[in-house]
Amino acid sequence: MTEGNRLEIDGSYGEGGRSILRLAAAFSYLYNYPIIIKNIRANRPKPGLRTQHLLGLKTLSNLTKSTLSECRVGTEEITFTPNPKNNLNTQLHVNINTAASIGLLLQPIHIASLGFKGVDKIEIFLNGGGSFGKWAPSLNYLQEVTYKIFENSGLKIEFEILKHGFYPKGGAQTKCTIYPSQTKLKPIELTDLGYISLIQGTIIISNQLKRPRDHIGIRIRRSINQHLKKNLKVEIDINFEWVKTISPGVGLFLWATSDTGAIISTGTILGEKKLPSEKLGRIASETILKYINNDIPVDDYLSDQLIPLMAYIQESSKIKVSSVTSHTQTNLDLIKLFNPRNYTITKDDKGHILEYI
């Protein structure tokens, strides 16, 4: 649906969450298509923009010199008009006064950067925010999983984590460097998990949680090792790191690279009050085993991040996922408003093959 020369998007459609804003703004820039988003998060207890959405939209607008309508926390309708001249700000400083997820805040920029031309690199310095957060990819996850797959297609993104940040105060210090592709992007084909010889893991623990006789990192690592060794004959390398943060927290994730180039992961797992370290380790182990036992090469968190890339790459790309969630379907439907390219979803005995033709 269009309003004047703008594409009108219902912000309450489908899962009606943050991904509609992130994807719509990014694809608006990629395809030079002005948009108006109405009913933003209308079906949520607190409708309208949250701080994280607002910062993400403003950062994309500032970087690409695009025009964003006046908006604030609670705004339920915005317009975004992309700058067709592709003259970018190559260095940007972003201040975040909350624990907003840095990974989600930058997602529209990473998608839009698929179309960046004429620059060698872009540097974004972020003061504040969360390197870990619920329902969001941690920066460690992005470094070891998402951006490794992106780089295989030709888009290189690096993160330098100077300081971690947890909810509720955030306080992370990070630098993101984007190296736009200078050549044609390569298609993605991840349909077979293949052979895995090593499972790696990172555990980040705030210094505030140090106890003389209760070493959280050792307990989590021991639990992971015990559960994985019962089910697999692979090398396991789990590291933990004590860090200085404003708010206390524990964040971990496991990942493994196979001989087919697939990288599977648990996604970001957070410690919680009254959740024993041993159970946290078991949750992580069971999550990665689920993908290995079912020959799934793309985890549930990576699939949503790869779909925009697959849609933009000119050649056919396909991935195998465990399921097609309502969130995934919303993303597929939204992208089709900008790019009418067809895709197929084929079910097999252990998962689904999603292919952009």
For residue 32, what pLDDT is reported? 94
Catalytic residue among 53, 110, 227, 327: 327
Known catalytic residue at 327: yes
Q: Is the bond preceding residue 34 a cis peptide, omega within 30 degrees?
A: no
Rounded to an integer, what distance in angstroms lies between the CA atom of residue 33 and that of residue 334? 13
- Each domain of the chain, given as residue ranges in start order, spans 2-189+298-356, 192-293
Rounded to an integer, what distance in angstroms lies between the CA atom of residue 259 and that of residue 254? 17
pTM for the structure as a whole: 0.93
**Residues 38-97: tens digit of each pLDDT:** 999 888 888 999 888 899 999 999 999 999 999 999 999 999 999 988 889 999 999 999
Packing angle, helices 326-338 and 18-30, rounded to 10 = 20
For residue 134, what pLDDT is reported? 87
Give the residue from 265, 224, 228, 225 showing the smallest Cα distance to 140: 265
Q: What is the CATH number of domain 2-189+298-356?
A: 3.65.10.20
For residue 46, what pLDDT is reported? 86
List of the chain residues with pLDDT < 50? 16
For residue 38, what pLDDT is reported? 95
Assign domain 192-293 to a CATH class.
alpha beta
For residue 4, what pLDDT is reported? 60
Asked if 145 contacts 255 with a C-beta cutoff of 8 angstroms, the reply is: yes
For residue 212, what pLDDT is reported? 81
- Cβ-Cβ contacts under 8 Å for 22 (sequence gap 6 or more): 53, 56, 104, 107, 108, 111
For residue 41, what pLDDT is reported? 87
One-letter amino acid of 167 = Y
Rounded to an integer, what distance in angstroms lies between the CA atom of residue 37 and that of residue 25? 9
